[in-house]
Amino acid sequence: MSEIKKVVLAYSGGLDTSVIIPWLKENFGCEVIAMCADVGQGDELAPIREKALKSGASKVYIEDLKKEFIEGYIWPTLKAGAVYEGKYLLGTSFARPIIAKALVDVALKEGADAVAHGATGKGNDQVRFELTVKALAPHLKIIAPWRLWDIRSREDAIDYAEKHGIPVPVTKKRPYSMDRNIWHLSHEGGDLEDPWNEPKDDVYLVTTTPEKAPDKPTYVEITFEKGVPVAVDGEKLDAVALLERVNALGAANGIGIADIVENRLVGMKSRGVYETPGGTILYYAHRELEYLTLDRATLHFKEQVAIRYAELVYDGMWYSPLREALDAFVESTQQTVSGVVRLKLYKGNIMSAGAKSPYSLYHEGFVTFGRDEVYNQKDAEGFINLFGLPLKIRALMQQKEANKA
């Protein structure tokens, strides 16, 4: 242990990382530098520098990564249409690689021997952090206190924090493990560990519950350019401002609450409740535009790619060759995904209210039920005869065998 003189800790100011600073100093006798990634946590960052220093950090880095996070991690995942197990919009999953990348950058700058994180030995985040470190700086040692120390529960961690005079935002009365960024807020633990328990209304800190949402629908128009959202209601916005705008609209209308018992990478099921108001709107709008602009074969194959892409992101394989290769495919499909989608938001629901694109493959002249001059319905007979030929041949064979009997 003595060979480790300087450690850079991925610091959030939450329960786990707050107790890790004094624990590292006590057990490794090393200098601890705190690195906090600003991925849109909001007010949580205000007291973080002072708190880290009081906990024993020699230095604190606070890196503003919001723009890079959205443009380099969220938008590619959105364009891929990646959703894990049909519900989870990957808010924590794709935040970990950018945080770990910043951790590595600080460690290299400071000449650190190791990096550390507060992910537990039961969760997915340990994999996401460590695979990123291995991909970017394989020489760095990795310290995962939850796999080493005697603390065995969140209650133990709270007791350790109280003993060392470290204030933490978690109490035994509100024991939820939360992760927040500009994309989402997740909740785990406490009474949520029983899948039979409905989440209490006070769980939600971002999104209005559908019951309390306005009685009138809200309409919103999202403009996309090559699969990337660029404007809301005709107003062009940068990535951060756009996501904040759509988040506010979604939260006010009860949009984006997802409750899922998911399959963790480490082999167990866990129950998570997620608030992703803006992301849910953007995924819906993006999909609507793809319905209009992608041909059948591409759309259907892309659905398969989306599942694999989501698994890679969830599993911490952001910096894998396969994800990069899938990105190339996705980017090709997005060249015509430009246009405007109008949506109606009402009490937790999103409804389509119109879509248009200069690259639309929808042709009214071909699909109309009225008289047309472009489609010869007699052509369908030959198509059906050829398309159904394998079925016909199989049926003839079955009849022949039945007659033998």
* Residue stretches of the annotated binding site for L-citrulline: 88, 93, 124, 128, 177, 186, 262, 274
Ordered DSSP codes for 30-50:
-EEEEEEEESS-GGGGTTHHH
How crowded is residue 68: how many other Cβ atoms within 10 Å of its Cβ? 16
Q: How far apart are CA 16 and CA 168, in angstroms?
A: 9
For residue 286, CA distances in Å to 68, 171, 204, 255 come to: 20, 40, 26, 16
How crowded is residue 73: how many other Cβ atoms within 10 Å of its Cβ? 23
* Residues of each annotated binding site: 10-18, 37, 88, 93, 118, 120, 124-125, 128, 177, 186, 262, 274
Residue whose structure tokens are 């503003």: 64
* Residues of each annotated binding site for ATP: 10-18, 37, 118
* Residues of each annotated binding site for L-aspartate: 120, 124-125
Tokens of 56: 């024993």
Query: Which of 124, 102, 103 minimizes the C-alpha distance to 114?
Result: 103
Q: State the catalytic residues.
A: 16, 96, 125, 177
Give CA 198 to chain center in angstroms: 23
Q: How far apart are CA 226 and CA 260, in angstroms?
A: 31
Beta strands in 207-348 (DSSP E): 218-225, 228-232, 235-236, 257-263, 269-275, 339-346
